[in-house]
Amino acid sequence: MQLFFGFPKARPGLAQKLLVAAVALLFFGQLTLYWTLLRWESGTEKFLQTPMNILLLGVDEPNLNDQGELERPRTDTMLFLAVRPEQGRAALFSIPRDSLIEIPGVGMDRINMAHVYGGYELTKSLVEKILELPVDRYLMVNFQSFEEIVDLVGGVEVTVDKRMLYEDQSAGFSIDLQPGRQKLTGYQALGFVRFRRDALGDITRTRRQQQFLAALANKLQEKETLLRAIRRFPDLIRIGRNYLQTDLEFPELLGLYLFFKDLDLQEELHTWTLPGEFSGPYWRLHPREIEVLTEAYR
């Protein structure tokens, strides 16, 4: 005998078993979600109570070596973020890319070449040696992700300090900015933080990078930015999957956002460039001055 619409009649008790199974799946699904949220809350709460040092790396495009092989990219930007949630403050230390350091197995070279020779692990060990502070987590972005992140938040407003006009035909990259207060798109922002045709070269550039990151942090504190990010959440996920590398877990990322959301960026975020002096094309670091500068974050 068949029921209406031609489906076979269920055996006695089968419907009840299917219903019980469905309820069980729903229950355990909700339970899994509940425990996941609890784990996230626990991880976020732990982050907001624990000192953490995060190495922020911006990498350029990979190059071909003399053998025609694709090398690891250089670290065009290196920033050390010391987050101290229990003290309600943070510090951002810029490490000039031309800083001269001894690279094991290579010799004296710019620190931005460490990633080419030994990847993140070698870069991390050298940064820890310079600052005498541990690196707990890292976040690596490339130029494409930087552009897209800035565009995703709707652009970032900064003061461009001088006329910036530069073109690199081999890299297919150009910078054309007028001085003054203005909102930069992702492509314009990339030019702003990469421009280094100054008397102090990379040292002036690190200051612009600090300026831009502070402006970006200020932008992220705005409610409109959060709503915009929620609306474009699929884009955020795509950027994270395709362009970002990090060992920060989601609860830590959430804790990082919550920490900076309420931070007084003028009073509680301190920025420095590692002290040193020019030695030809290199930046020769001053270890003693660096030790004094980082003492409060040990």
In terms of pLDDT, which residue wins out, 34 or 210?
210
**Tell me: the pLDDT tens digits for 138-155?**
999 998 899 999 999 999
Tell me if 221 sits within 8 A of 260, measured CB to CB.
Answer: yes
Q: Angle, to 10 degrees, between the axis of helix 143-152 and the axis of helix 186-194?
A: 130
Q: Angle, to 10 degrees, between the axis of helix 202-220 and the axis of helix 223-231?
A: 80
Using CA atoms, how far apart are residues 30 and 32, in angstroms rounded to an integer?
A: 5
The 10 Å CB-count burial string (b at 16+, else e) for 256-292 is beebbeebeeeeebebbbbebeeeeebbebeeeebee
3-class secondary structure, 246: strand
Using CA atoms, how far apart are residues 94 and 221, in angstroms rounded to an integer?
A: 22
3-class secondary structure, 108: strand
3-class secondary structure, 248: coil
Q: Which of 22-26, 179-183, 191-195 has the lowest mean pLDDT?
A: 22-26
**Tell me: the pLDDT tens digits for 201-232?**
889 999 999 999 999 999 989 989 888 888 88
Tell me if 152 sits within 8 A of 229, measured CB to CB.
Answer: yes
Residue position matching structure tokens 């931070």? 263
Q: State yes or no: pLDDT of 42 exceeds 80.
A: no
Q: What is the pLDDT of residue 46?
A: 78
Domain 50-297 has CATH 3.40.630.190: yes
Task: Over range 99-121, report the average pLDDT.
Answer: 96
pLDDT grade, residue 43 (50/70/90)? low
Using CA atoms, how far apart are residues 190 and 193, in angstroms rounded to an integer?
A: 5
Residue type, 35: W
pLDDT grade, residue 196 (50/70/90)? confident
Q: What is the pLDDT of residue 117?
A: 94
C-alpha dist (Å) from residue 244 to 132, 150, 236, 270:
26, 14, 11, 25
In terms of pLDDT, which residue wins out, 97 or 34?
97
Using CA atoms, how far apart are residues 146 and 260, in angstroms rounded to an integer?
A: 19
